Structure 1
Amino acid sequence: MRLPTALLIAATATLPGCGALSALQGEPDRDLFELRAPAALSCPRSRVGELVIEPPKARGTLDSNRIMIRPSVLQTQYLPDAEWGDTVPAMLQRLLVESLGATGSFDHVGRAPLGLSGDVAMISEIRDFNVNLSPDGTLIRLSVEAQLVEEMEARVIARRSFAATVAAASTRTSDLIPAFDAATRQLIGQMTAWTLTTAGVDPDTCRRS
């Protein structure tokens, strides 16, 4: 899909071409970007031993490594010369495993249980992970619906919606990616604190590692 001319020029002006392999395959050159989890927390032990982070669900336009632009509520486009290093769901799952595993509150945090099932699983759905263009400016908008499920009983023990919005200075990729990073660290921080609280750990008792 084509971006508006102004956005296309702004995005491509900041992206050096470096994709020899993609060029050989007939793909456009795209720089790869990864996002970070928030600073690691060291926390007390929880009452949950094993925590499984299921792959987040996402609609087809988000289940991709392309960086989504929303010029309007009915239109989806992508940055032409930049992409994530993994699909959005896989990236979010990795960041949650990293953030929650670093707390030391759980015996195991992973993408799959060590045995037949874990104690608690996080099931989530990504609603927004995109750039929103509006007369008010350029906003990074992320939102996720999440549930914590007791696996043996197949019982939902907590559910919550999470959202983070960060303004980007412009539509240039050099401004969009840091804004995505800031919003993602906010979102993962919110989800980590909620999971700890549900597992019986007061996030205020944690300290920066």
Structure 2
Amino acid sequence: MRFPMRLPTALLIVTIATLPGCGALSALQGEPERDLFELRAPVALSCPRSRIGELVIEPPKTRGTLDSNRIMIRPSALQTQYLPDAEWGDTVPATLQRLLVETLSATGSFDQVGRAPLGLSGDVAMISEIRDFNVELSADGTLIRLSVQAQLVDEMDARIIARGDFAATAPASGTRTAELIPAFDAATRELVGQMTAWTLTAAGVNPDMCRQTRSAPVPD
């Protein structure tokens, strides 16, 4: 009886690395260590009561390349890369959901703001899709670009209460991680601030009637 010939070790490694679903050779050696970063919510506001009791922030949707805790860089419109030495503490959708829950809950305008309803359903749900959450490289410099589409839906009759498109940018002084993260932080706080004001307005609250409850965070 003849047994299959055993492949040389080097050839076996190359074969594994090229199989569908398998990572490159570096994956066999373990993931590199990366610094973890978290983005902050904007300045906390205290606002009048809204006509919405319970607000549910659904997990934002996004494409696969952004549904990750890796920090995306786009050298061109068709190319995606990631920072090699840093990542977010959570996935991009989970990060945005956390910041929206934290910021809207702090306003005091709603009885409950959460990731899921307390009962079978909440009063209103925010459904959103992240379009951009990345570093954009061009001949003009380095720019953080964030954009989100969102809608508020009445859970009782599936009626759309409001739709909104939101975008925020912030220039970065360079391409090093230490230069990119503060710009991401500034753009994120602007984006969440836009979405908060829009949600309050749709809930019958005038954002101009809100007041700050703490000072603005100071960039690291």
Q: Is the structural similarity TM-score above 0.5?
A: yes
Once residues 90 and 165 of structure 1 are traced to their aligned partners in structure 2, the CA distance between those partners, rounded to angstroms, is: 20
Gaps (5+ residues) in structure 1?
1-24
Which residue does the alignment assign to 2:145? 141
Counterparts of residues 17-36 of structure 1 (less than 5 Å): 26-36=30-40
Q: Could you tell me how far 1:191 is from its partner in structure 2?
A: 0.1
**What amino acid does structure 2 have at the position aligned with 1:64?**
S
Gaps (5+ residues) in structure 2?
1-28, 214-220
Higher Cα Rg, which structure: 2
User: Secondary structure at the residue paired with 1:58?
Assistant: coil
Counterparts of residues 132-171 of structure 1 (less than 5 Å): 132-171=136-175
Counterparts of residues 98-177 of structure 1 (less than 5 Å): 98-177=102-181
Task: Output one character per residue of 1:148-191: Cα deviation in whole Å (capped at 9) or x when no partner.
Answer: 00001001110010000100000011110000000000000000
Quick check: 1:71 aligned with 2:75? yes
Q: Could you tell me how far 1:134 is from its partner in structure 2?
A: 0.3
User: Secondary structure at the residue paired with 2:130?
Assistant: strand
Which residue does the alignment assign to 2:48? 44
**What amino acid does structure 2 have at the position aligned with 1:79?**
L
TM-score, structure 2 as length reference: 0.84
**What amino acid does structure 1 have at the position aligned with 2:85?**
D
TM-score, structure 1 as length reference: 0.88
Equivalent residue in structure 1 for 2:193, among 168, 189, 195: 189
User: Secondary structure at the residue paired with 1:62?
Assistant: coil
**What amino acid does structure 2 have at the position aligned with 1:177?**
I
Which residue does the alignment assign to 2:182? 178
Which residue does the alignment assign to 1:11? none
**What amino acid does structure 2 have at the position aligned with 1:150?**
D
Task: Output one character per residue of 1:122-168: Cα deviation in whole Å (capped at 9) or x when no partner.
Answer: 00000000000000100000000000000010011100100001000
Once residues 69 and 190 of structure 1 are traced to their aligned partners in structure 2, the CA distance between those partners, rounded to angstroms, is: 24
Once residues 188 and 65 of structure 2 are traced to their aligned partners in structure 1, the CA distance between those partners, rounded to angstroms, is: 19
Once residues 60 and 27 of structure 1 are traced to their aligned partners in structure 2, the CA distance between those partners, rounded to angstroms, is: 19
Q: Could you tell me how far 1:29 is from its partner in structure 2?
A: 1.2
Which residue does the alignment assign to 2:203? 199
Q: Could you tell me how far 1:102 is from its partner in structure 2?
A: 0.1
Q: Which 4+ stretches in 1 moved above 2 angstroms?
A: none
Q: Could you tell me how far 1:34 is from its partner in structure 2?
A: 0.2
